[in-house]
Structure 1
Amino acid sequence: MGTLTKAQYRMRKLNLVSMIPPLVAVGALLVAIDAKTWWQAVVLGIGVVAAIVATERWTAGHLFRVAWPCLIVTAAVWILGALTFDGHTSFYGITIVGPLIIPKLPRRRGAAALVLIAFVAAVGALKLLVSPGNLPATLIQYLVIPTAATVVATGLMIPGQRFYDLVEELDQSREREAELAVIRERMRFASDLHDIQGHTLHVVKLKIALAEKLLHSDLDRVAEELGELHALVGDTIKQTKELAYAQRRLNLSAELENAKNLFEAASIRVRVDREAEVDAQAGELLGQVLRETTTNILRHAQAKQVRITLSASGITIVNDGVADAPLPELSGLATLRQRLADSGGELTVEQKDRRFVTAAAFPRNREAGKDDR
């Protein structure tokens, strides 16, 4: 077993404090009451020590390292005490160790419980044959009380172990949730970094191709394109730093203007219909959708026309130039779909009639707009 978690450590500490002192106190008291000679005290004391060792290892989750030796020792103490020197409390150790072991068994717990109870009762019954005098007292001290104590202890430990298992499962569930949160954050960071760097690299490629075309015909335009490239790279460096320090915020208006300029630079006719404004949180997500869609159009489509419509409920981007083929897998949009869903929105993509439609919407914003009207 590995290092204990914080919850397991707290549970172990609680168990040690709540169980070990009473076990020691009761065990010492029983030895003092029952032992008539020093060697009887040693025998009974060994049973108490075995019970304490088993309990301490149980709280640490290492019970099976000592389980069987402790069980054998306490069983021997019960046999020796009951049959040789009238040690009617010598069952104490086995009623501690046995019920600790049984709930930890992988299977046949019921059968093991019956065997334990039968063993304790059998030793008590054997005492009746060895010492037939004063039958009622012997019956109570060696058969009824030990057997009842074993039944009660075993019956309490089985549901108690289930409780500890639930606590451990809950702790493991919390650990898994924390790990998933870290993974989701890493995926979010990677997706944002992909948005920034991927978008920039495609724009750089586009502008360099344009500059190469104009190199021998319009040097002023080439200089303008190179200046824009310089500014774009500087802005990308700034956005990357903001992302690293969790300060990055997309501006939807800036993204709309940027998308328009990029499409025009690629000789794609673009129309922007801005019917309404959206709130800042929704605007940031819509800006991410617009940026990712712009990159996809420049990469995957032979578009001649693009129409961007911004409404109170969301944004819709429609482009032509789509081949008659199955809907491509767009991993960036798949990631954004989950982000919108987490914020109460929805992202849909549709391909028909050689057109590709990307729509991101927040239904609650749509309903609010209807109520205002």
Structure 2
Amino acid sequence: MTVATTADLEARDTRRLERYQRVTYRSFQCAAVGFVAPSLVGVGMAYTDGHIGVPLAVLVLAGLALLSWYYARLVRTGLADGASRRDIVLSGTLAAALSVMILTGPLFNVIPVFWVSAVVLSPLSRRQMAAMCVAVAAFCSVLTTVAAHRLAPDGPVPWYGLVPLMFGIYVLGCFVTVFINRYQRRMWEMHRETHAARDALARLAVTEERLRFSRDLHDLLGHSLSLIAVKSELAMRMASTDPARAGAEMADVRRTAREALREVRSAVSGYRAAELDAELAGARAVLEAAGIRCDIGDPPDPLPPEVRSVLAWVIREGATNVIKHSEARRCAVALTAYEGSVVLEMRNDGVQGDGDGNGSGLTGLAERVAVLGGEISSGRHGRDGFLLRAAVPLPAPAEDTAPAEPVAGRTA
């Protein structure tokens, strides 16, 4: 039977975290394109209008390329442990120098916001972020006011009215950018914390199970092994002086060893046995931990132990296959008694590939179910669903030997 090991679950969680990291990085790359593209258009317009020459245009393009490289570096280090002060200062100086191009056209207004969007991904206090937004807004509002009077000297708004207006617009834009990127950073941290918590819980569960098993073995074997050691030592001392007593002691050693072996086998078989209620609870826990909504109905009572054990194995294999071989978001388990049989149906969505369900694990389940005279089937159900169905006959109830009294008006 295919069983998901701890390493498999850890690898699956790691792949999910890496997938989210790639999506996050790509979203910031798309944002970088949205910031850089207007600046490139601004360079072209400034050159066409004669505000800058070829040397200055080449220098600005080189600066935009370097600022884009700094942006990627600030995003990567900011999401990790935080960007260094040196990178923040150098990139801020470069952004301030490029912001002077606001004097040639309004499309360069995105450059300071571009720099702020990368810096706020590093761990900063609210006071530091507010001070940075206010400083950027003050610097850019002055440049914008000068550019407005330079490009449109007869504008309707005087400089003392334009400065506070532009200052407010820049502050609002910076704070919106800070809010969005800080929210995305918080989601990033939540994914990392969830991944670390899952790993810690898995290790804790393994540790607790080892401790429980060691306590059980100590309780089972501690007394027996101590008795075997004492009687063996006594038999060795009496082997030459009282052979009959030594033989009796060794007989007790053999009996104690066999009893201890029987207890160990019983304990191990108890650990290896599958119980229906425990498997239902375990399936719900592992599926919901994997982000799959799980609806499980109550099993009909009473069920014979052998039937409960077989159904428990079906639940275990079905839950394992849902996690390993599908992208399910919902799983439903139903147990119903029908015409002398108990029917287990396990449905999930998000099936991958052809979904024929002919794995070795299901083959082993079919053999287990066939021992009790039942049958198992699996396959696609609907557009993207999968259905695992097991029908196990129930043993016939003991017939009452007392003659039944006739009931008037009843027909067969």
Counterpart residue type for residue 104 of structure 1: S
Letter in 1 for 2:205: R
CA 1:6–1:149 in structure 2 vs 1: closer, same or farther (change >3 Å)?
farther
C-alpha deviation, 1:238, in angstroms:
5.5
Deviation of residue 23 (structure 1)?
3.2
For residue 97 of structure 1, report the CA deviation from its aligned partner.
0.3
How far apart, CA to CA, are the structure 1 residues paired with 2:172 and 2:67?
A: 17
2:108 is paired with a residue whose SS is coil
Q: How does 1:9-20 map to 2 (within 5 A)?
A: 9-20=21-32
The residue number in structure 1 matching 2:173 is: 153
Choose which of 54, 58, 61 in structure 2 pairs with 1:42.
58
Gaps of 5+ in 2: 1-13, 276-303, 306-412
User: Which among 154, 178, 196 is matched to residue 134 of structure 1?
Assistant: 154
Say yes or no: does 1:56 pair with 2:72.
Answer: yes
3-state DSSP of counterpart to 1:104 = coil
User: Does residue 1:90 correspond to 2:108, yes or no?
Assistant: yes
From 269, 272, 282, give the equivalent of 1:247.
272
Q: 1:191 to 1:249 in 2, by over 3 A?
A: farther
Counterpart of 2:130 (choices 95, 110, 113) is: 110
> Are the structure 2 counterparts of residues 99 and 20 from structure 1 closer, same or farther at C-alpha, using a change threshold of 3 Å?
closer
Q: CA deviation at 1:163?
A: 1.7
Distance in structure 2 (CA, Å) of the matches to 1:197 and 1:248: 21
The question of 1:177 aligning with 2:198 is answered yes
- Structure with larger RCO (C-alpha < 8 A, sep 6+): 2
Give the superposition deviation at 1:237: 7.1
Distance 1:189 1:166, change over 3 A: same
In structure 2, what is the equivalent of residue 257 of structure 1? none
CA distance in 2, matches of 1:193, 1:113: 59
Indicate if the aligned counterparts of 2:228 and 2:257 stay in contact, CA closer than 8 A: no
**Per-residue deviation, 1:176:** 1.9
How many residues of Structure 1 are paired with residues of Structure 2 in the alignment?
A: 246
State TM-score, norm by structure 1: 0.52
Q: Which amino acid aligns with 1:20?
A: A
Q: What is the Cα deviation at residue 30 of structure 1? A: 2.2
- Residue 340 of structure 2 aligns with which residue? none
Letter in 1 for 2:21: Y
Shift of 1:106: 2.3
Secondary structure of the corresponding residue to residue 133 of structure 1 = coil
- Residue in structure 1 matching 2:217, options 190, 193, 196: 196
State how far apart, in whole Å, the 1-side matches of 2:152 and 2:251 are.
113
Give the structure 2 partner of residue 225 of structure 1. Answer: 252
* Superposition CA RMSD, Å: 4.3
2:97 corresponds, among 76, 93, 97, to: 76
Residue 31 (1) aligns with residue 50 (2) = no
Task: Provide the TM-score with structure 2 as the length reference.
Answer: 0.48
CA shift for structure 1 position 15: 1.8
- State the identity as a percent: 12
The unaligned stretches of length 5 or more in structure 1 are 251-278, 281-373
What is the DSSP-based 3-state SS (H/G/I as helix, E as strand, rest coil) of the residue aligned with 1:66?
helix
- What is the identity, as a one-letter code, of the residue corresponding to 1:41? A
| C-alpha contact 2:70 2:87 (8 A) present in aligned 1 | yes
Distance in 2, matches of 1:26 and 1:132, equals 21
Compared CA separation, residues 221 and 194, structure 1 to 2 (3 A): same
Question: How far 1:138 sits from its partner (Å)?
Answer: 9.5
2:249 maps to a residue whose letter is V
| C-alpha deviation, 1:200, in angstroms | 0.5
Deviates more, 1:130-139 or 1:112-121: 130-139
